[in-house]
Amino acid sequence: MSETAEVTVYWRPGCMYCMRLRATLRLHGLRPAMRNIWQDPEAAAFVRSVADGNETVPTVVIDGVAHVNPAPRLVVDALRRS
């Protein structure tokens, strides 16, 4: 028996990698928690803490583990876990 993964996507407007990830998730009908680092100072600080001081997005947290610019497939697979 497995549980649904907890997934949070940190993103910002204009980021092509974020757009690619969001489009892939929409295509699969998946809706993780989304945090815009330009509107959420705590989210931006978190991303900097796991990305060597940079605001590299998308950064995705899956079950408490941060993934900086992960392959969309990794995120899709995590969200499909049930």
Is residue 43 in a domain?
A: yes
Q: How many domains does the chain have?
A: 1
Is 69 within a domain?
Answer: yes
Residue in this structure with the two tokens 């899709």, named with its chain if needed? 76
Quick check: is 2 in a domain? Answer: no
Q: Which domain, by its residues, includes 13?
A: 7-80
The predicted-structure confidence for 9-37, as pLDDT tens digits, reads as follows 999 999 999 999 999 999 999 999 999 99
Q: How far apart are CA 42 and CA 75, in angstroms?
A: 22
CATH number, position 75: 3.40.30.10
pTM of the model: 0.91
Reported as a single tens digit per residue, the pLDDT across 37-72 is: 999 999 999 999 999 999 999 999 999 999 999 999
AA letter at 6: E
